[in-house]
């Protein structure tokens, strides 16, 4: 398995907050997650700003609708890989999410739309990962079976991987192989608050369970020194 990578969840209110943070973490964080909050407020501007800085963008909008609508949304997302100014240092969109609840036909439509649009634009197709069950969901008796069922559906539809908590990561890795990507949110250093997350883990535990990407937000965003917090997590990941 490739080296596990850190993704910073850019869950902030203003672009100025984001700009300051991106500057502070420029030499330590390579991948930034743009979710509903930032994209709703700033749209493609925030993704293109990150891409112009050479950063990888994880567009986490969890597309879930009828197949045709999701295919159109994915096509538009792939279009974000093209610099509006012809900037040669512009990084293509790295990864995006769809929700596995949408079903196999919707997931297949997303993959096909991404492949076709990437080919048409001459860009690398972004990775597509399927959301299984949100980490804010409390653990239930059949949760692991449900997550595995949705992960299998994602793989059958041609997705690159899934978003899943550390509690299901080892099961997914064992059942679906070493090349299927696992993105794990709810990462908290041992001394951090859980906030509204229910199924959380330390970076070390997530890596041991087979996660490829660790998504961290508030433990870095709310730290007195975000850079120090990020470096501490990266050091723990190396160990």
The residues annotated as belonging to the active site are 62
Beta bridge partners of 56: 31
HEC letters along 58-78: EEEEEECCCHHHHHHHHHHHH
Question: 82's torsion region: left (phi>0), alpha (psi -120 to 50) or beta?
Answer: beta
The percent helix, strand, coil of the chain (3-state, each to 5) is: 45, 15, 40
User: CA-CA distance, 72 to 134, in Å (whole number)?
Assistant: 24
* DSSP per-residue string spanning 175-213: HH-TTSEEEE--B--TTS--TT-SS-B-HHHHHHTT-SE
Backbone angles phi, psi at 214, to 5 degrees: -110, 125
Question: 215 φ, ψ to 5°?
Answer: -100, 120
Strands 213-216 and 5-9: parallel
């Amino acid at each position: 398995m490739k080296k596990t990578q850190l993704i910073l969840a850019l869950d902030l209110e203003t672009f100025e907050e984001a700009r300051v943070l991106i500057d502070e973490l420029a030499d330590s964080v390579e991948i930034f997650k743009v979710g509903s909050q930032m994209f709703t407020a700033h749209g493609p501007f925030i993704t293109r700003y990150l891409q112009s800085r050479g950063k990888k963008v994880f567009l986490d909008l969890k597309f879930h609708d009828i197949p045709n609508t999701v295919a159109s949304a994915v096509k538009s997302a792939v279009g974000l890989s093209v610099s509006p100014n012809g900037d040669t240092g512009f990084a293509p969109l790295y990864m995006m999410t769809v929700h596995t609840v949408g079903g196999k036909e919707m997931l297949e439509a997303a993959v096909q739309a991404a492949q076709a649009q990437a080919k048409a634009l001459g860009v690398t197709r972004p990775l597509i990962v399927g959301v299984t069950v949100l980490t804010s969901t409390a653990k239930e008796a059949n949760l692991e079976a449900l997550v595995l069922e949705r992960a299998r559906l994602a793989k059958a539809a041609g997705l690159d991987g899934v978003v899943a908590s550390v509690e299901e990561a080892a099961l997914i890795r064992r059942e679906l192989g070493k090349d299927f990507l696992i993105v794990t949110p709810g990462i908290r250093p041992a001394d951090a608050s859980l906030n509204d997350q229910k199924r959380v883990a330390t970076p070390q535990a997530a890596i041991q369970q087979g996660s490829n990407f660790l998504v961290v937000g508030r433990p870095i965003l709310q730290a007195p020194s975000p850079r120090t917090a990020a470096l501490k997590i990266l050091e723990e990941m190396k160990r």
